[in-house]
Amino acid sequence: MTTRTHRRIRARWFGVAFILLWSLVPIYWTINTSLQTEAQAGSKPAHYVPPTPTMKNYTSLLGGSGGIPSQIRQSALNIVIECCAATIVTVVLSTLAAYAFARMSFRGRNVLFYAVLATMAFPAYTTLIPLYRIMSDFGLVNTYTGIVLVYVSGFLPLATWIMHNYMTGLPLAIEEAGLVDGASRMQILRYVMLPLALPGIISTAIITFLFSWTQFLFPLVLSTDLSTEPLTVVVQALQGQHIVPTTLLSAAGVIAIVVPAVIGLTLNRYIVNGLLAGSVK
130 touches 218 (CB < 8 A): no
| 260 lines the binding site for another protein (CB under 8 A) | yes
Q: Residue 154 in contact with residue 222, Cβ under 8 Å?
A: no
* Of the candidate residues 51, 64, 169, 264, the single one contacting another protein (CB under 8 A): 264
Q: How many Å apart are CA 33 and CA 251, to the nearest integer?
A: 8
- Shortest approach of another protein to residue 24 CB, angstroms? 7
Contact status: 156 vs another protein (CB under 8 A): yes
Q: How far is the CB of 1 from another protein (least distance, A)?
A: 8
Contact call for residue 177 and another protein (CB under 8 A) = no
* Rounded CA separation 207/234 (Å): 23
Phi, psi at 138, each rounded to 5°: -90, 5
State the Cα–Cα distance between residues 232 and 194, nearest whole angstrom: 33
Interface residue with another protein among 72, 83, 205, 257 (CB under 8 A) is 257
Would you say 197 and 167 are in contact if contact means Cβ atoms under 8 Å apart? yes
- Asked if residues 150 and 133 have their Cβ atoms less than 8 Å apart, the reply is no
For position 37 contacting another protein by CB under 8 A, the verdict is no
> Which range of residues in 50-58, 61-69, 144-152, 191-199 is near another protein by CB under 8 A?
144-152
Of 7, 51, 139, 177, which one interacts with another protein (CB under 8 A)? 7
243 binds another protein (CB under 8 A): no
Q: Least distance to another protein from the beta carbon of 63, Å?
A: 21
Site for another protein in 98-117 (CB under 8 A): 99-101, 104-107, 109, 112, 115-116
CB-facing half-sphere around the CA of 132: CA atoms within 13 A = 13
